[in-house]
Amino acid sequence: MKKLLFVILCILALLMGAYPLIYVFVEHKNTFLGSKSLEILQNTIWKTAFFAHIIFGGISLFIGWRQFGSKFRNKYVKLHKFIGKFYIAAVLISSVSSIYIGMYANGGIVSSVGFVCLGIIWLITTLVAVVYITKGNVVKHQQFMVYSYACTFAAVTLRIWFPVLKSITQDPDNSYIAVAWLCWLPNLLVAYLINKKNVVAG
């Protein structure tokens, strides 16, 4: 069951990691950008931040899953470090960008606060993980990387929660507001339980 869940996580991460490609092949009016006002779309800073967020967020999602698993880490130490540096750089760009675009989120102040909080926590957990590994604390580094990837994985859970809630409530606006929080809070809870279990097992 554990391996099956990991495989499912990997498949979802890979599929969603490739999501930015939709903006190459699909007209922007038929994507998420179609829901934004003309004023926002003409804001160069917002648009730059948006594409930085989805591109580097996609990269972090696409490569981050490979960092988990002791067999891989122990066998390919140099590759693990290389991917880790690439992941950290991608997260730093995407998280900072997400904090900015979060202030313009659909759904008003409630969803904006949700997405901005996600961006801040994503940034902080990743930076703390970096600090711990520079100090040689591997256990804490691994724990905070679990939290970091839980935030990264919000890109996937958002796209699971939203259609489910919209289907149940028939209220897309309020569903989106709820998803601004649901896409990451349960993820962090799962990350906490995983870390707690690993500490007990260790």
pLDDT tens digits, the chain, 202 residues: what are they? 667 777 787 888 877 777 777 777 678 777 788 888 889 999 999 999 999 999 999 999 989 877 887 777 888 889 999 999 999 999 999 999 999 999 999 999 999 999 999 999 999 999 999 999 999 999 999 999 999 999 999 999 999 999 999 999 999 999 999 999 999 999 999 999 999 988 755 5
| Closest-CA residue to 88 (of 24, 17, 144) | 144
In the chain, the largest separation of any two C-alpha atoms, in whole Å, equals 54
**Sign, Cα dihedral of 22, 41, 178, 153:** positive
| Closest-CA residue to 45 (of 1, 113, 119, 104) | 104
Whether 55 and 24 have beta carbons less than 8 Å apart is answered as no
Supply the pTM of this predicted model: 0.88
